[in-house]
Structure 1
Amino acid sequence: MPVTAILIRAQDHVATLTGPVAAGDAVLITGQGKTREIIARNDMPAGHKLAIRPIQEHEQILKYGEVIGEATADIAEGGHVHTHNCWGVKARRHS
């Protein structure tokens, strides 16, 4: 049975994994919109973010319908979205 990932808002770029996945595993995207399947491109632990569409380098990343970070590299659909390819804007202080 495929692992699911929850899409919180329809406009989000990422969904949150409910269980761990291995590269090549099918992931069912549930929550908002029609349920669909994406193939995981990387091994990822539960609770991490999966790109539900391609994200370009320097593009803002949406989760909860809000910007949570910016991609520091291109991220393919099904890719792991984490500190190795994005930086968070929520924790950054602006002076």
Structure 2
Amino acid sequence: MEHRIETGADALYMDERDHVATALRDMKAGESIHYRHAAELQMITLAEDIPFGHKVAISDIASGQDVRKYGEVIGRAVKPITLGSHVHVHNIEGIRGRGDLGTKEAAQ
């Protein structure tokens, strides 16, 4: 069964600082998809399949870079992530609640 939410876009994007958008349906590699940025639609081509509810990179993300979704840092890239790639536990790690971060990093 294919999930689908009607919004005029294929993925949900909330904040201009975000690195990812959330898939509003199952999407296939090679497909051109749209996400709404302010009042206009942006288009990217998917590098990988993106399941419903999962994240897709809407820009390149460097290894070690914080990853934002809905304006909040959700983790840190453990390897480079290219535009249109699936963003999930295989390429980001959670950083909330970690005891190994210094005071400066934890405050950011």
Q: Is the 8 A contact 1:3 1:20 kept in 2?
A: no
TM-score, length basis structure 2: 0.78
Supply the AA of the counterpart residue of 2:23.
Answer: L
> Which of the two has greater helix per residue?
2
The answer to whether residue 2 in structure 2 is matched with residue 7 in structure 1 is no
Please tell me whether the aligned partners of residues 3 and 21 of structure 1 are also in contact (alpha carbons under 8 angstroms).
Answer: no
Displaced runs of 4+ in structure 1, greater than 6 A? none
Matched residues in 2 for 1:81 and 1:15: separation? 9
Please give the alpha-carbon distance, in whole angstroms, between the structure 2 residues aligned to 1:47 and 1:72.
21
Where structure 1 has 5 or more consecutive residues not aligned to the other structure, the ranges are: none
Equivalent residue letter for 2:99: H
Provide the residue aligned with 1:94 in structure 2.
99
Tell me how far 1:94 sits from its aligned partner: 2.4
Count of residues paired in the alignment: 93
> What's the Cα RMSD here?
1.8
Please say if residues 9 and 36 of structure 2, whose CA atoms lie closer than 8 Å, have aligned partners that are also in contact. Answer: no
User: 2:62 is matched with which residue?
Assistant: 56
Task: Tell me the TM-score normalised to structure 1 length.
Answer: 0.88
Higher strand proportion (structure 1 or 2): 1
One-letter code of the match for 2:61?
Answer: I
- Unaligned runs of 5+ residues in structure 2 are 1-7, 101-108
The answer to whether 1:23 aligns with 2:33 is: no
Equivalent of residue 76 in structure 1, options 66, 69, 82:
82
CA distance in 2, matches of 1:34, 1:61: 23
CA offsets per residue over residues 11-58 of structure 1, 9 Å max, x none? 101000000111101110115352111001101110000000000000
Residue 89 of structure 1, CA deviation:
2.0
CA contact (8 A) 1:3 1:17 kept: no
